[in-house]
Amino acid sequence: LQDDVDHHVKDHLKQFQDRGVTHASVVVLENSTCAVLAMVGSGDYWDTQGGAVNGALALRQPGSTLKPFTYALAFEQGASPGTIVADTPVHYTGAQGGLYSPRNYEDRFAGPVMMGDALGMSLNVPAIRVARMVGIPNLLSTLNQAGFRSLQREASHYGLGLTLGNGEVTLLELAQSYAMFARGGLSCVAHHHPNHHPGHAEPTTRVFSPAVVELTDRILKDERLRIEAFGPNNALILNRPVAVKTGTSSDWRDNWAIGYTDTYTIAVWMGDTKGRPMQSLSGVSGAGPLFRRVLDSLPPETPVWNKSEPNQPTVKAQVVTAPLCALSGKHPGPSCGHVRHTPMRPESIRSLETCDWHTTVRVDTRNELLAGPTCDEKHVREKVVTSLPPAYTQWQAATRHAAPPTEYSPHCPKSTGSMSRPSVTFPRNDERFALDPGLSAESQRIQLSADVTSSVKEVTWFVDGQEVGKARWPYALTWQLSPGPHTVEVAVSGKRSKGVSFLVL
């Protein structure tokens, strides 16, 4: 096997000599014993351009390969593959200060997305949101337990970027940690070093429960999600149950493909030993084909142990498949058009509400506006509309998704009723904006945004108590920055939000 893997590495590298790739490394583990079956450190030990560097033990940024651990921790805390997470623009304060605005690989946003889909398609923004939800200290502790002993800095050093691979780990650590998923949640690294000798049993640490591992495993094996992320002709369409995750570090310096079967775990790295960037080579196009070649050369599968906990129901009994609304992740309602069958734990299903994002409304056929209670029925028809929570209003407008009707027909207006108080979502309290003296004043603007929970025709914006404009759905207004402290408010039908204070320098 060592000779086969060595041959695959040398042959594969010939295809990428003009893309900035100098070497590749591969580790193959046996899951039942954690034994290293094969390890190739470089394409050629005698190559003067870093050939003597063992890439399997070198510290590198792992890119997206750490995301499965983030989501598994969220599942352990009560979330599920059907839990909705927002893939919308967001801004955070970075670990080293400054504004951090994560972006997805293709620089697009998917809006509301199920956690299982977000992991399977390797979306960056949802991963950041989930990392914030589980807590970076908790995530770092979990990664250490799984086998990433190289992540020795404080959680504050890594910040939210930890889930995107801003720390440095080794290929061997990645192999050991992914083998943990193949072992039902039992770590390969109870002691500091892996067991290189098959048959020699050592104490192990449970990192995740069997049910959580099963949920994560199904996502990583879902070829539908791989096709959606990478297209139908990518090298990781394997037509058999193999869990795979790819990763690409910043500036194209490293790419990875890590995965496992019941019996084996394979970890592949490609890049330059001196850290020089490659020419736009991603994990799926660089390391992915080498992963497949190594996978095809492995001996037949021989799983030899039961992954379930003693005296507990089998893993299959702890995970069931539930029909969910594909957009809201809730129980489908009568107006939901698309249903997704999603693996979940029974307790997660019991806590779900019925979808209220898809609703049936009455519209006036004369103008397609909302029909009030006094409308003549001969002018009324029912229409299914999608009313997303206020957090998705800006995304819904920017992506040109059909807006729900917000105005009532003048032929039959809405009866008077209660209306909830709006709130300002941008800017945020105590934010600071710096004017650029090199730009014109007219070009330096921000977009005022609000949460408006009722269907209304328009809102009114106030800055420092003075009206600055009105805005229809999605209720945003562009405002030119001016120096000094300011307070912004938004009003709907006489109900005004709390003021948000900010400073323009």
What pTM value is reported for the model? 0.82
> Facing residues of 111 across strands?
87
Predicted local distance difference test score (pLDDT) of residue 198: 46
How would you write 236-286 as a 3-class SS string? CCCCCCCEEEEEECHHHCEEEEEEECCCEEEEEEEECCCCCCCCCCCCCCC
Cβ atoms of 87 and 107 closer than 8 Å: no
What span, in angstroms and rounded, lies between the C-alpha atoms of 393 and 408? Answer: 20
d(CA 380, CA 376): 7
487: helix, coil or strand? strand
Total count of residues recorded for the chain:
505
Long-range contacts (CB closer than 8 Å, 24 or more residues apart) made by 189-196:
189/34, 189/146, 189/147, 189/149, 192/149, 194/29, 194/34, 194/35, 194/36, 195/33, 195/34, 195/35, 196/35, 196/36
Distance CA 72, CA 68 (A): 6
* Residue among 449, 473, 462 nearest 400 (CA): 473
User: Is the CA virtual torsion 314, 316, 320, 326 positive or negative?
Assistant: positive
One-letter amino acid for residue 411 of the chain? H
Torsions phi, psi for 4 (to 5 deg): -60, -45
Q: Contact at 8 Å (CB) between 60 and 271? A: yes
pLDDT tens digits in sequence order for the chain, 505 residues long:
999 999 999 999 888 877 778 889 999 999 999 999 999 999 899 988 888 999 999 999 999 999 999 999 999 999 999 999 999 988 776 666 666 778 887 778 999 999 999 999 999 999 999 999 999 999 999 999 999 999 999 999 999 999 999 999 999 999 999 999 999 999 997 544 444 444 444 557 899 999 999 999 999 999 999 988 888 888 888 878 899 999 988 777 889 999 999 999 999 999 888 778 776 677 777 889 999 999 999 998 876 655 555 555 566 668 999 999 999 999 999 999 899 999 999 988 888 999 989 988 888 898 888 888 888 888 899 888 888 887 888 888 887 677 777 788 888 877 655 567 788 988 888 888 888 888 888 888 888 988 886 567 789 999 999 999 998 888 889 999 999 999 999 998 778 899 999 999 8
